[in-house]
Amino acid sequence: MYIDPCPDPSPCAEIYMDYNATTPLEPEVIQAITEALQDAWGNPSSNYIAGAKAKAMINQSRESVGSMVGGRAEDIIFTSGGTEVFFFVTIVMNATVQGEGHHNGSIACLPHIITSNVEHDSVKLVAEHLQKNGKAGRKHSCKVVTARVEVEDIIAAVRPNTCLISVMLANNETGVIMPLQEICQRVKSLNKQGERLRILLHTDAAQALGKIRVDACELGVDYLTIVGHKFYAPRIGALYVNGPGTKTLLYPMLFGGGQERNFRPGTENTPMIAGLGKAAELVTANLSDYESHMRSIKLYLEERLKAVFKDKICFNSHYPGSDILPNTCNVSILGSGLQGWRVLSNCERLLASVGAACHSVNGHRPSHILLSCGVPTQVAANALRLSVGRGTTKADVDAVVDDLRETVQLLEEAH
């Protein structure tokens, strides 16, 4: 059962539409965390009852998270969150080229990484850091033209020293779903062609999980990022690896007590892992209902926006030929003085954002994601990212659209 993050039913109650930034915990998740805190407080490496309970909870959660992404329990490594996952993967990348993995003796050069220019900063900035500090060769960021990375552009960017391709499964601002399965199929064909470095495939699935079906095996990825707080779980994450250390290379990011099969040592955070596992169970059991509800509410939101603002509305998440997340609506209300930050700061009820929460420190500059997708600067400056959740209702939508209408009217009169 879902808990509304803004439960106040009064006419002036705030309405949350920023579920791509973070989500509240489901009641069942809170219960799982509470039970772990009370009953499984022991060290999971200990043999007494509290430790054994903790170990059992962790094992069950690993099964649940693996099942959610179409993998096995042994494919899951628990992490502090999504940000550390890509750094985890780059350790493999460097070891590969340096000869600790699939080394081709004729290639004595720095590793080459391919990403898109709309990746989350946890991928983008790590790749840039590796290049700047001489740990990787020139990073190739494939440009998106219609918000969707093109398969042929990825393949054309491959070099003899390419060892890692990282493309997000769904964009956090536009909601556009990337053609991951086709990319993986083409790359696996390249990997079969003679002696060359094996190209490893990583995807950041943070925004897709809990909204659309995600099956790592069907996609064909080697690594997949899991972020709990995007699907009503606590702020903890996991790395999916297709056969860690056997079928797919994985090296320790830290050294310590041997937890997580030595790949990610440190005494496990049992309560948060239990919460992640419970949230994964809910996704596996209810995804069809979640997706259907969010899609219905988002479509109603777009209809109401078009009805109220007519030709003053521009949807930045509509691209012919591209599939979109069922909950994400990126929209600009056109007009001078209607910048997204200005509109949101004057709204009485709407809680939303102009883009990724991690970019809020950049001030009022238009989203580089939208600009990269070809959205004109003035339109991008007016963008609002509205993302609905499992508990968002049509009444919420009506209230939000009314709030936006009144706010825009006030700003236009004052301009």
Domain boundaries in the chain? 27-282, 287-414
**At residue 82, does pLDDT exceed 90?**
no
Secondary structure of 160-204 as H, E, C letters = CCEEEEECCCECCCCCEECCHHHHHHHHHHHHCCCCCCCCEEEEE
The mean pLDDT value of the chain amounts to: 88
Query: How much of the chain, in percent, has pLDDT values that exceed 90?
Result: 66
In this structure, of 74-78, 263-267, 279-283, the range with the lowest mean pLDDT score is 263-267
Higher pLDDT, 99 or 194: 194
pLDDT of residue 200: 92
Integer CA distances (angstroms), 410 to 16, 41, 278, 313, 343, in order: 22, 54, 45, 17, 10
Per-residue pLDDT at 104: 45
CATH architecture of 27-282: 3-Layer(aba) Sandwich (3.40)
Paired tokens of 274: 């239990």
Q: Which residue has the tokens 């049509």?
A: 394
pLDDT of residue 190: 92
pLDDT on residue 415: 74
Q: Which residues of 222-241 are buried (b: 16+ CB within 10 A; e: fewer)?
A: bbbbbbbbbbbbbbbbbbbb
**Environment class of residue 105 by beta-carbon count within 10 Å: exposed (0-12), middle (13-18) or buried (19+)?**
exposed
CA–CA gap between residue 295 and residue 117 (Å, rounded) = 27
Of the candidate ranges 103-112, 147-156, 214-223, 398-407, the one whose mean pLDDT is the lowest: 103-112
Band of residue 293 on the pLDDT scale cut at 50, 70, 90: very high
Q: What is the pLDDT of residue 108?
A: 47
On whether the CB atoms of residues 114 and 166 are closer than 8 A, the answer is yes
pLDDT score at 100:
40
Structure tokens at 207: 């925004």
Residue 8: what pLDDT?
52
pLDDT tens digits for range 351-373: 999 976 555 555 688 999 999 89
pLDDT at 94: 63
CA distance between the termini of the chain = 45
Least confident piece of the model among 128-132, 181-185, 228-232, 255-259: 128-132
pLDDT of residue 138: 59
pLDDT attached to residue 103: 44
Q: Tell me what pLDDT residue 136 has.
A: 64
Of 152-161, 192-201, 303-312, the least confident: 192-201
Q: Is 372 helix (H, G, I), strand (E, B) or coil?
A: helix
- Looking at per-residue pLDDT, the higher value among 7 and 182 belongs to 182
pLDDT of amino acid 363: 61
pLDDT of residue 95: 61
Of residues 414 and 177, more confidently modeled: 177
Ramachandran category for residue 99: left, alpha or beta (phi over 0 → left; psi -120 to 50 → alpha): left
Fold observed for domain 287-414: Aspartate Aminotransferase, domain 1 (3.90.1150)
pLDDT for the residue numbered 106: 41
The first and second tokens of residue 224, run together, are 């997949």
pLDDT score, position 352: 97
Return the pLDDT at 96: 59
pLDDT tens per residue across span 97-115: 555 444 444 444 678 889 8
**pLDDT beyond 70 at 167:** yes
Query: How would residue 283 be classed by pLDDT, with cut points 50, 70 and 90?
Result: very high
For residue 155, give the H/E element and its range.
helix 151-156
Lowest pLDDT segment from 61-75, 248-262, 319-333: 248-262
Q: What is the 3-state secondary structure (H, E, C) of 280-320?
A: HHHHHHHHHHHHHHHHHHHHHHHHHHHHHHHHHEEECCCCC
pLDDT exceeds cutoff 80 at 195: no
Taking 60 as the threshold, does the pLDDT of residue 163 lie above it? yes
The band of 7, judged by pLDDT with boundaries at 50, 70 and 90, is low
pLDDT, average across residues 194-198: 78
**Residues with active-site annotation:** 358
**Lowest mean pLDDT across 71-85, 147-161, 251-265:** 251-265
Averaged pLDDT for residues 307-318: 95
3-class secondary-structure state, position 350: strand
